[in-house]
Structure 1
Amino acid sequence: MSLSGTILAGLVICAGFFSFWVYSRLEIAISSWKWLATLRFVILSLVLVLIWDPLIPDSRMVSANGTRWVLVDGSQSMKSGTQSQIGPLSQIIGKIESLEDPPSRVLLFGETPRFIPVDSLDLVDFEDKSSELVPALISVAETGGSQVLVLTDFRIDDARDVDSYGQKYGLDIEFERVQLDRRNVGVKDFVIYRSDSSDESLFARATIFSEGILDGEQIEVQIFEEENLVAEEAISPISEGNTSSVEISLPASKNTDLVMYKLVVRIAGDEFQLDDQKRTYFDSTHSGNDIVFLSFQPDWEPRFLLPALKNVSGLSIEGFLKLSNEQFLNINDVETDDMITTENDVREAVANSGILVVHGLSENVPGWVMDTLVTERPSLIFVENGTVGNMFGISTQENVVEGEWYLEENLKPSPLAATLSDIDFGSLSPLSTVLPLTGSSNHVAPLESRQNGLGQVQPPLVLVNNAEERKVLVLAAGFWRWASRGGSSGIAYRRLWSAVFGWLMASDAMGNTGLVEPEFRIWGEDDLVLWETPGLVGSNVNLVISENDSVISDTTIVINGEGQFVTQELTPGNYNYRAVAVENGDLLGDGRFSVENHSLEWLTRPGDLRSIKNDQGIAISGSGNFNRPLHTFVSPYLILILLLAMEWIGRRQGGLR
């Protein structure tokens, strides 16, 4: 017996004990209680079996005239240029009418299967954004169908699964291709980039595809900056099912803010407009990385901290590990051709950064790093020894103390408390070293730790909040252990640095207009918009979304424990947003984003679906057997209703409620 069958048997036995216990212990004693308990036991057992939903062998007969289910592809790839009867609908209706026994309704598949009367086929608009056949095949099998005719353009998203499901349910599937001689050109993706942070030149890279275009014709590619045409180029057609990458040089932008670019591809007689254009945003004022990470000590921490900071802050980040001879190793996630970087390039990156992270700070680091840290720039600093502590107004021992430093479960009052309040610090791995404070400090220590869980408490990090600067001094090592364990420990790791960076980003030096931002600047029409709010966990934020000076949404949100929230889907268009703190009215974020209705349905290469039918070899000529889920039979529900009625009558006759 399988594990699921054993569990079912155990639940049925429990149902029997429960039924007899209820009637023997809780109900009023009557002479027919055993009979009623047995009825209750059978009812509960039947419900459990229905939930388990086993496959039941079933025989079915197929009529000699070849009656079959007709499935019609309802995805956007079936849409014709004119959307009239001369397109795919005429072929579909003609095929259905030619059947010996035409059905009264068809099953339209795409995103979700649904029935459509045949006389309403001319109203089908083919708007589904995916073409999933398997759910429709399951629906046919569960209703006892065996022969299926699928009318499609062969652009099926789950074509690889059709064979296995057809064999599982014993379906005889025939595919017939709806022939569409179409002309189309579309864009798959589109980005704007600057090859060198010191260069004002911009480049656009786009991936383009086409179908039904003759040799010798040209595809027109246009790029708009806001509403102004800034570049255009003509390219050759691309063979059906393939793509071509195009790179176009753009003039330097005169805008000093977030700029929207739009790429449009054109061809005479294009029959599908939902893939003709793509938008993207580019920050024309930002030439460097938001965060620069410098490590002067080989350690596990950068490996986990670098991606965590990128995720929790939503900012761009670049990392470097100090080598010898004034060289640094690029430690970003993406490998580049130049993994070794000179000190001058690193200094330039630091100068253009918004937040600086220094790991392994000691008296041996270059002087320009020290000079940068004493400026007003927000910084996260992992202090290596006590020599550099006095620079930031704290007094520590000269060397770190090794051991197992366990965090105290209770948080101290601090700006990080709201974000960290639901973390069980007592269950986290201990830190490996701590640099103990030797005197009192006016700075805030949000966390406390004890060596081996005993002795005097010491803070693993300190928040320095002077009039002109905000810095976080990390006096402990071994936080990476949390991330390496994953699960709740990994969540605690991300939550800690989310709180730290939210506090740093809220400083006057950094400005707080980027604390609330959409995760992406471009969203799909049916997408829920996800917003990132680092460091604002538990805060009340008022978000106003507008389009053309008309308010679309005005709502107040409480930020969840992950520092995120979600807003409803929007129709295609360009939107502005403004987020303010409910408590004090401070501006937390403002900017723009767009929603577009962009489809890649015509990019999918048509598959050879007839070969799938031939490989199945399950043609059913007269009769056949297959396994049918129990919940698709009517009889279990009729039996259940009958048993419930019998128990109700028996209880009333016995004087029970």
Structure 2
Amino acid sequence: MTAVPSALLFGIAALLLVGFAAWLYLGIESRVPGRPVLLGLRASALLLLLALVVNPSIPGEDPAATAPTPPARWVVVDPDPALEARPPEGVLWDQLLDRTAEELDPTSGLARIQRERAEGLTLEALRAGTPAERSTPAGEALIRLAEVGADSLVFLSTLRMEAAPLREALSRLPVPVRIVPIGGEMRNVAVAELRLPSTAPPDEPLPVEVVLVGEGGDPGDSVRLRIYSRPFDEEGGPPAAGPEGTAEGGIEGQDPPGTLEYEGRHALPTLGARETVALTLPAPGGEGDRRYLARAELEGDVFAADDERVRVVRIGELEGGIVLVSVRPDWEPRTLLPLLERASGLEGAGYLRVGPDRFLPLRSGAEPFEPMALAGLVERARGAAVLVLHGTGEALPALLVEVAEAHPRVLHLPADAAGARIAGIETRPPVEGEWRLDAELPGSPLSPYLGGIGLPALPPLTGVMVPAGPVAGSVAFRLRRSPAEEAHPGLVLTTVPAGRRAVALARDFWRWGVRDGEPRDAYRNLWSGVAGWLLASEAMADRRTIRPEAHVLPRAEPLPWTAAGWEGAALTVELRPPSDPAAEGPVIRRDSVNVGPDGRFQLAPLPPGRYRYRVLVGDGAVGAPDGAPEDATDDATDQVPDPAPDRPVLGAPPMGIFEVERFQGALLRPPLDPEELMRIRTTEAVERREPARGRPLRTHPLPWLLLLGFLAVEWIGRRRAGLR
């Protein structure tokens, strides 16, 4: 906007304000002495307020221009894990440090991207560090630097990241940015995925798929692929040097791989391509958890961290545990089964019926789907500690009905009256509509789990099956379609000669589990209580209820553990080398933790490698001090002094082995094109305003003092003249 229209608008606004003041005092207010003076004070205050709104520049120096400011030019470093690569021209991390030193000058600031933020540091601190454990999005960090006053940015990165977020951030940046790529395409092969079933019979060949990716190859390059196996809990592993030797580097090393199951050569995939190698390994033989390692070898490979993948397969039938059988597709099984596993400390397996004699396992998308025949499923269900039947009705095979009738612990989630009849309750057909929980909670074994929850505010359930007569057993809660209608049982706990039964007479409980806050807490408490009630008569002393949630845990992330039955307890977890089967040698690390209300806790991230753990009850120091080995029993006891009646007794301290993966998260992404990224920039994105000359009116104290003075004098004059 030019000066003439601005002045014209200011003059019009000033006339309007003065006219308003004149109209107020000459036309509205009573005729009192001194009206012209009061009118002048009101007009002066309004004109001064208008000037402060417009905020023109006046002669003088802007205090903001002379105040100390952060560096206008920032050098931003992305410490991507790919910087560990060792190409012939030198380690990428060293190249990054050298280029950073070249880009810095006395007026520049240095920042390192850390968890989507840019953290300032010195060049010496950067040299003392190492590449990050995992990739971090860089776009938001660049935008935040610009928001706090950066005048321009220099971004040093391998550019191995998702393209869309970075492009979007560059288009929003209000300051110029120069991208300096570190490295480029490099010679590398990686095992992207190792696909194995979670369970397998011991006497049948084992199907496996290995997905390879690569880059930087020459025509005719081939990759040597080897697959090894060994019992997961087998003693041995990379030697540990004691607390001092493992404080930084963990226990990573050349782990004895075991028996060679496969060896072959395959073509090196081109950049961006994926090659799936489908194989059949010999029958494992024996039973128990077996560790499979796929290793890809390429001559001249410059990045070794992604050359291996490890998976663990349970060989043989699942002994005890939880078996869930679903005869209708639904969200409930995938939401319920993991919760029951955590609540009970038992391993679980789920199956979906897809044909008269075909049941597919409920597994993650990376696992091959090997259907199970009805006969095999019946045997597995018969040996389960807890049997869960979902969506049952007329379609449930007769053999499974017989197993359910004789099983000592069954959770029924029927789909219709026929399914409820299998559970031993006669009901009417399901009544659709939205049914909400009644606010009055009946007395039952689940009352302590549901007390204190706003039951009517929970998401509604559907498909309620109203009992045809009186219900034998305890009613956990009741449901209503409206406040005026009668409430009907929603979940029934009964005891029959064969054992205990929990019967849900409604559907869509999963809606609670997928919502944050109280609905998820109610879902967790409800089914944790059901699992505890079903297993209350089960001797839990020799079950390992405190353990890692998986045999192989991710790198650079908190490590999840499950401790079913120990909610709120204080535990001590000791970590030792895997070659210490008696768990009596030097302690690598000792963590004291409190189990959460969901029966879970987390340990701090660990370096890659294999660890033997021992869990004690009591307090202990967090982290092993540098120096001499620790006594394993200084701060903890081997047994619970006085366990609660409903808490499992911890006999011998739980012990075992778990592993931390060498490579974290996604594979190395192909590097982005820096020239293409720079073309995203537009003239609007890099255009900067010239600094205003003079001093803004608002920064001077005199106008504010005058405004307060005009208003105060006018107020006093009005009171003395008798005006309000």
Q: 1:586 corresponds to which residue?
A: 649
Q: For the residues of structure 1 that align with 2:304 and 2:395, how far apart are their CA atoms?
A: 61
1:317 matches 2:354: no
Give the whole-Å Cα distance in 2 for the aligned partners of 1:620 and 1:340.
Answer: 56
Gaps of 5+ in 2: 1-63, 67-71, 231-255, 342-347, 578-582, 618-639, 692-697, 706-724
Q: What residue is the counterpart of 1:624 in the other structure?
A: 688
Q: How far apart, in 2, do the equivalents of 1:619 and 1:397 lie?
A: 72
- Where 2:522 maps in the other structure, the secondary structure is helix
- Following TM superposition, by how much is the alpha carbon of 1:332 offset from its aligned partner in structure 2, in angstroms? 6.2
1:455 deviation in Å?
Answer: 11
Three-state SS of the structure 2 residue aligned to 1:371 is helix
How far did 1:222 drift? 2.4
Aligned CA RMSD, in angstroms, stands at: 5.2
What is residue 501 of structure 1 aligned with on the other side?
Answer: 531
1:208 aligns with 2:238: no
Partner of 1:291: 323
Provide, for residues 392-443 of structure 1, a one-character-per-residue CA deviation record: whole Å limited to 9, x for no partner: 8x8x6676797979545335241x344333433344547733326648x5x5
- Alignment partner, residue 670 of structure 2: 605
Distance 1:236 1:360, change over 3 A: closer
The DSSP-based 3-state class of the residue aligned with 1:319 is strand
Alignment of 1:418-437 (within 5 A): 418-428=448-458, 429=460, 432-435=464-467
Determine whether 1:307 maps to 2:307: no
Cα pair distance change 1:542/1:444, threshold 3 Å: farther
* Structure 1 residues 151-162: aligned runs within 5 Å: 151-155=156-160, 157=161, 159-162=163-166
Describe the superposition over 1:200-243 as per-residue Cα deviations: whole angstroms up to 9, x where unpaired: 22233222222333333432222232341322322221212333
Match of 1:47 in 2: none
Q: Secondary structure at the match of 1:238?
A: coil
> In the superposition, relative to structure 1, how do residues 318 and 566 fare at CA in structure 2: closer, same or farther (>3 Å)?
same
Paired residues of 1:96 and 1:102 also in contact (CA < 8 A): no
The 8 Å contact of residues 197 and 368 in structure 2, kept in 1 or not, is answered as: no
SS of corresponding position for 2:196: strand
1:132 and 1:400, CA in 2 relative to 1: closer, same or farther beyond 3 A?
A: closer
- Asked if 1:547 is matched to 2:547, the reply is no
Q: Indicate how the Cα distance of structure 1 residues 537 and 425 shifts in structure 2: closer, same or farther if over 3 A, else same.
A: farther
Partner of 2:305: 274
Q: Which amino acid aligns with 1:499?
A: G
| 1:260 aligns with one of 291, 294, 304 | 291
Structure 1: gaps (5+ residues)? 1-57, 61-66, 628-635, 644-657
Structure with greater strand percent: 1
Q: Using the alignment, how far apart are the partners of 2:220 and 2:547 within structure 1?
A: 46
Q: Which position in structure 2 is the counterpart of 1:71? A: 76
Q: Secondary structure at 2:306's aligned position in 1?
A: coil
Q: CA deviation at 1:472?
A: 2.1
Structure (1 or 2) with the larger CA radius of gyration: 2
Which residue number in structure 1 is paired with residue 5 of structure 2?
none
Query: Partners of 2:498 and 2:484 in 1: how far apart?
Result: 37
SS at structure 2 position matched to 1:193: coil
> For 1:150-189, what aligned pairs fall within 5 Å after superposition?
150-155=155-160, 157=161, 159-179=163-183, 182-189=186-193
Greater Cα offset, 548-557 or 208-217: 548-557
1:557 aligns with 2:612: no
Change in Cα spacing, 1:385 to 1:573, as seen in structure 2 (3 Å) is: same
Cα offset, 1:130, TM superposition: 1.7
How far, CA to CA, are the matches of 2:374 and 2:126 in structure 1?
A: 68
* 2:226 aligned with 1:222: yes
Distance in structure 2 (CA, Å) of the matches to 1:254 and 1:638: 86
8 Å CA contact 1:290, 1:316 repeated in 2: yes
- Aligned counterpart in structure 1 of residue 98 of structure 2, from 89, 93, 100: 93
Q: What CA distance in whole angstroms lies between the structure 2 residues aligned with 1:144 and 1:388?
A: 67
Q: Percent same amino acid among aligned pairs?
A: 19
Cα distance between partner residues in 2 of 1:88 and 1:81: 9
Relative to 1, partners in 2 of residues 1:568 and 1:464: Cα closer, same or farther, differing over 3 Å?
A: farther
Aligned-partner SS, 1:109: strand
For 1:463, which of 489, 493, 498 is the aligned residue?
A: 493
For 1:270 and 1:339, the matched residues in 2 are separated by 35
The 8 Å contact of residues 419 and 537 in structure 1, kept in 2 or not, is answered as no
* Cα displacement string for residues 460-489 of structure 1 (whole angstroms, at most 9, x for unaligned residues): 444345787433244x33565965995645
| Contact 1:573-1:594 at 8 Å conserved across structures | yes
* SS at 1:526 equivalent: coil
Question: Structure 2-normalised TM-score?
Answer: 0.61
Counterpart amino acid of 1:424?
G
Kindly state the Cα deviation for residue 183 of structure 1 after the two structures are TM-superposed: 3.1
Q: Tell me which amino acid in the other structure corresponds to 1:433.
A: M
Give, in whole Å, the separation in 2 of the partners of 1:615 and 1:146.
19
**Partner-residue secondary structure (3-state), 1:313:** helix
Other structure's SS at 1:434 match: coil
Q: Cα offset for 1:135?
A: 4.2
CA contact (8 A) 1:304 1:483 kept: no
Bigger Cα displacement from structure 2, 366-375 vs 460-469: 460-469
What CA distance in whole angstroms lies between the structure 2 residues aligned with 1:387 and 1:269? 62
* Total equivalences in the alignment: 552
Q: Does 1:526 align with 2:590?
A: no
CA distance 1:359–1:193, shift in 2 (3 Å):
closer
Give secondary structure in 2 for the equivalent of 1:598.
Answer: coil
8 A Cα contact 2:96 2:156, kept in partner? no
Structure 1 residue 242 and structure 2 residue 273: aligned? yes
CA shift digits 1:15-57 (9 cap, x unpaired): xxxxxxxxxxxxxxxxxxxxxxxxxxxxxxxxxxxxxxxxxxx
Distance 1:172 1:230 in 2: 55
Question: What SS class does the counterpart of residue 313 from structure 2 fall into?
Answer: strand
Any idea what SS the aligned residue of 1:127 has?
coil
Q: 2:31 corresponds to which residue?
A: none
**Residues 400 and 577 of structure 1: is their aligned pair in 2 closer, same or farther, counting only changes over 3 Å?**
farther
Q: Secondary structure at the match of 1:272?
A: coil
Shift of 1:605: 0.7
Aligned AA for 1:613? M
8 Å Cα contact 2:428-2:467 kept in structure 1 = yes
For 2:437 and 2:111, how far apart are their aligned partners in 1? 62
| More displaced stretch, 256-265 vs 163-172 | 163-172
> Could you tell me which residue of structure 2 aligns to residue 410 of structure 1?
441
Distance 2:552 2:332 in 1: 27
Could you tell me how far apart the structure 2 residues matched to 1:342 and 1:620 are?
62
Distance 1:229 1:448 in 2: 57
Residue 573 of structure 1 aligns to which amino acid in structure 2?
G
What is aligned with 1:55? none
Change (3 A) 1:216 1:197: same
User: Amino acid of the residue matched to residue 98 of structure 2?
Assistant: I
Name the CA distance, whole Å, in 2 between partners of 1:409 and 1:103: 69
- Which secondary structure state, in structure 1, belongs to the residue aligned with residue 689 of structure 2? strand
How far 1:318 sits from its partner (Å)? Answer: 0.9
